[in-house]
Amino acid sequence: MVQRSEACALDLGYTVFLGNTMNNSENESKYLHSLVEKQVDGIIYLGGRINDTETDQEYAQEIKKVMERVPIVFVNGQMAGVDAHVVRTDEETGIDKLVELLINLNHKKIGFLGGKEGISSTDVKKASFVQAMKSKGLGVSEDWVLGTGFNIESGEEVASQLLFLKERPTAVICANDLVAIGVIKVLTKFGLKVPDDVSVVGFDDIYLAKHFPPGITTVSQNYDKLGQTAINVLVDLINEKEAAKETVVPTSLVLRDSCKLFSG
């Protein structure tokens, strides 16, 4: 997404400055104040505190003060009480597509792995997963909903927990592709085959998803479109043009080899 945003901005005559806060709130504040002092034309805000389900009002006030001087576009996040323009991917529909796919492959015991409670993307995906399962008349076992984070190690951890259960799901939806990679690594290490024994699907469609064996079925967040849309909305705000308060970018299902028809 960042590369596409930068390319789009350059085409429109703007230069992009990238600030990686490394998930540190103090760094976020430093970058915000620095960018305002440098009199940037606008800010695209991705990750960090705007991903918290519960808004810290001190942070919200800080953002409001910045918005008085510089237009801001949130990407895949929001803050309660902050009237920002938002560009987001349709994560809800993406999860619905994964659930429907697995059910069509005769899976009824489906788990959700990865993510972290209190982070909006996780909470949205989990809620969508539960709702999609209920709409199909299927229950959700709490033992099969496990999450400690978003990286490969998190996937390894939750997969290890699954191995000790008396009853395991026949398919799992992972919060992202990195978690899916960790899950597949552990399942394979302990003699289970993906997708013969367990179907595993991810979310995001990162580069590795295509190349990590057996090839991960996933949902594309359409990062190019997301980045381009964020820049277009921000440039409209910079030029004092009207822009939609919320823009939803559709997701798409990417079929590979990590899930198959369940014959049990």
> Which pLDDT tens digit goes with each residue over 154-174?
999 999 999 999 999 999 999
> Which pLDDT tens digit goes with each residue over 176-230?
999 999 999 999 999 999 999 999 999 999 999 999 999 999 999 999 999 999 9
CA-to-CA distance for 81 and 216, rounded, in angstroms? 38
First CA to last CA across the chain, in angstroms? 40
What are the angstrom distances between the C-alpha of 211 and each of 97, 165, 223, 256?
22, 30, 18, 10
**pLDDT at residue number 15:** 85
Q: Spell out, as residue ranges, where the chain has pLDDT lower than 50.
A: none
**pLDDT at residue number 22:** 83
Which of 202, 146, 195 shows the shortest CA–CA distance to 170?
195
Question: Across the beta sheet with 145-146, what order do the strands follow?
Answer: 145-146, 110-113, 171-174, 199-201
**pLDDT at residue number 1:** 66
**pLDDT at residue number 170:** 97
pTM recorded for the entire structure? 0.93
Q: What are 235's two structure tokens?
A: 């440039």
**pLDDT at residue number 79:** 93
